Structure 1
Amino acid sequence: MEAIMGKNPNVKQVAKIIPFAQNGDYFFQKGIRAYRKRDLYKARKWLQRAEAMKPSDASIMCQLAIVLTELGDYQRSNELLEDIIEDLAPDMHDCHYFLANNYAYLGLFQEARKHAEEYLTMEPDGEFVEDTEDLIDLLEIEADEAEDYVDGQDHLIVMQENARGLLEKGELEEALALLEQIIEEYPQFWSAYNNLALAYFYKGNLTEAREVLEEVLEKNPGNLHALCNLLVFFHYENNVKEMNKLANRLEKVTPILVEHRYKLGATFGLIGRHELSFKWLRSLQKNGFQGDGTFYFWLANAAYQTERFTVAEQAWSKVVEMNPEKSGTEPWNHMEDKTVEEEEAEQLFHIFQSSTSNKTTVKNVLEQSFVTSTVREFAMFALLNRKDVPVNVVNGYEIASLLNTKQADMIVKEWFDLYARALKQAVTFTNAPAWAAAFSYVWSKGNGYAVTQKELVETYEISASTLRKYIKKVEDLLT
């Protein structure tokens, strides 16, 4: 309070201070309010002050433990929870549920299961019974994965990392051989099956890829990595109905493990469900997760697509810090300087180049933040040999192949510029030799190369009247 001055201005008055009781309950309530507003750092601050004032209050300690869990400080949270059930309030059975979750996050699945079962025994009708049963189901999955390879875990980890590295480099035959070996030695190590499915998918063997995933889901129902991979397959095949059906199912999943949250966030980002992608990836970052370049790529993409531009820029700075060669390839770059058609044409050209050099880059195509259905379908045909794609995709590739055998890369690149624009006008590309001959004629004339219609008629084995007809089609598209 401000001092109240008397009538004599030369006499200094002393303010009367009215004491305000800031006890443990006061700070506890402040902590609860901050927690409800999702301001976890303030919640921790106030709850720690409340605990200091009332160190034997189990309710304060339990709420602080919950906040610490959400901030990723599982060890300290466990210490508080153990103190509660051992000393302060053994009948506060909810603490067993919170301990089970913490131990699951830490990968200590036996401890997690012990506390989960303890909670169900003590609270058969408790608030968290359904969540605890879901947790036990997940723990059984993890136990199954670990059961057969604990003794040789170091050897397994080395092989698994080698296989992942081969996949990243596109060395698919080597990756397939190594993954088959892992599965033979560790038949219940489901991660190897999931990577094997991806290897088959990247190689274009979609039947084998699907069979591997079906085997995983038959033997290990609910395997999140397998479900996410299946969702990617549906997306890449442009199977919208099945993709949406599975995505809606996965939208209801609340994974416990960090790697599952990461997988779910990246997968949602890949199929264009950016709000869900941001939810999972940002929650990991806020809990202290130190991701790799791919993690920050998907976080930047999700943040940008949901108009959280500051977060997007911060995440992208991490990408560039880890991978300097990525500078200038921000997820929003294509929207700044290029039209959709220009970006699409560029991607189609790169896919075509990759297919003719026998360098599989389907993984790179999948991980682009801007991938249209045309690009997906073209990659399915060019890189995965899929036949169930629109005829325009097949013909567009065939025309590029015909041009590629006659001219340099520049004519092929400019063909894709025309192709991407023409598709938006519903042009059909029947008679690939005629389109290739006509485009070759118009392009050569426009770039100062000497060419006659007679030469092109002989080269592409078409009639002169057909050539003239298709030259008119190309010129109309270019005007």
Structure 2
Amino acid sequence: MDAGFFFERAVSSLDRFHYDKALKYFRKAVEYEPDNPVNHCNMAGILSEMGDYEASNAALSVILEKIDPAMTECYFYMANNYANMDMFEEAENALITYLEEDPNGQFLAEAEEMMELLQYELERPAKVTKIKSLAGVLEHDRARELLEQGKFTEAVKLLESIVEGQPDFWAARNNLALGYYYMGQCSKAIETIYGVLEQEPGNLHALCNLAILYQHEGETALLLELEHRLRKIVPFHQEHLFKLATTMGVLGAHDVAYRHFRRLLKDEDLRLDPALYHYTAVAACNIGRFTEAEVLWRHVDRLEPGSEVSEYYLSQIEEMSAGTRPVPIHYHYHLPFEEQIKQWEQPGEGVPADLADNPLVRSSFFWALRYGDNRTKLQVIQAFGLIGDHEVEEALKSFLLEPNEDLYLKDLALYVLRSLGVNYELPVCTGEATLMIDPSQTSPQLPIWKHEWQAVLDLASEHMRSNTDIKQQHDLESLWVQYLNLSYPDTPSISHIEGWAAALEYLTAKMNHRPMSYEKIAERYGISSSTVRRYCRRIDEVCGAEGASKTIFPMCK
């Protein structure tokens, strides 16, 4: 006879509800194997079933104090015993210890129920500060929210800290890769995904993310192999099905995307989601089902009346069907980036708040700033000036460090940062060196900055603000600063502020190919056209304004 023999006898007695005998046999098992915590735990369980809660807790204390302190579920059992004795303070302490010390969370749901009971009995909220079994989970949920809000820089920082502490938290690693991708850091995204697939080769989120990155990086052979593998997968879970559908759409496998989106439309929980109908319509367009696409976009319009997205595509459907207009190439539920830019280019329009907060729109901004042509990048920088949040600041600061970016665009980025209140030195890569530039300085080349110089700039800016964009406002300041730099130390006495301001606005308009006449600008400032002409000539003699350098900062000469 050994501990196993008495354990089997105890279980047999339990099956017949003979608790006295079961307790006797468990005690014998403890005698034979006093260092086995399971025997003590079984004995404590029987004592609790028999109503001897104090003896049960005593047995559990022996486990925690002398045998196996890592057997943290004992705290949960003790909390139950204390609650049964109406010792709610002690039950709360034991339960909090369980939540803070137990790494597995086996009784997490039950612990939450008990916490609600204790909160009711004690008439106050529980004192829980952390839940060890959920370490990283709450932070990960927060990071996902940040990604959904388009706050990619903040999300990436949080996800990096989670992954550092929990290297096997695959969901966090996948979302970190997405964060890098949204910010345009493709090499870091691929490296992160490889780390997931080394441990979980079948991780669908990682495989889908990797396929998108292969496409972006032009890895054709690797992409074809991976796409062939993804075509064979038929997910069961809604989340996996949606992930695969959107991925196949981005890859151009629109037939597969269409099939998966149609499956999702059969889900009762998703039938009121206008975005899903839009995705299905885009897939339908790309496989030539234009009539069905039109029906789907009309359904979007019913689900979300006044939607610009459905209105835009319905207006284009006939031309797409006739082949005179290309079908949409992206699945995002917002207007194409080019259409958004057209709207925001109107002076005084700005970026609508609902679009500025849209993570897909924000992601397209990050992408355009990193991979677009110079004209698109200029538009994005101007849009960033209108959005003006922390994410924008971080994106522009990173842009200043890119060695191959146009110096005028960096100059404009510094101007936007100054308008957002950044008043400290920032590193700026000029291609040859990295300089520290303070955006708050109007002209670091001039040893002084006179009040009347600023008055000219303020007056011109005030007149221009309502009908020009950030770029033209920046050009105006650049021209004025350049004139003063080139004239110094023989800068003229500024007595006619309106004349100088009017000349600056006129020349800035000409530099940006805007129609403007001396008479029109003179009327705006309440002066004569000859006065405007005279001051324009003085600036042009020094700067040659039509071909003037659009530069404030010395590093951009």
Please give the TM-score of this superposition, normalised by the length of structure 2. Answer: 0.39
Larger radius of gyration: 2
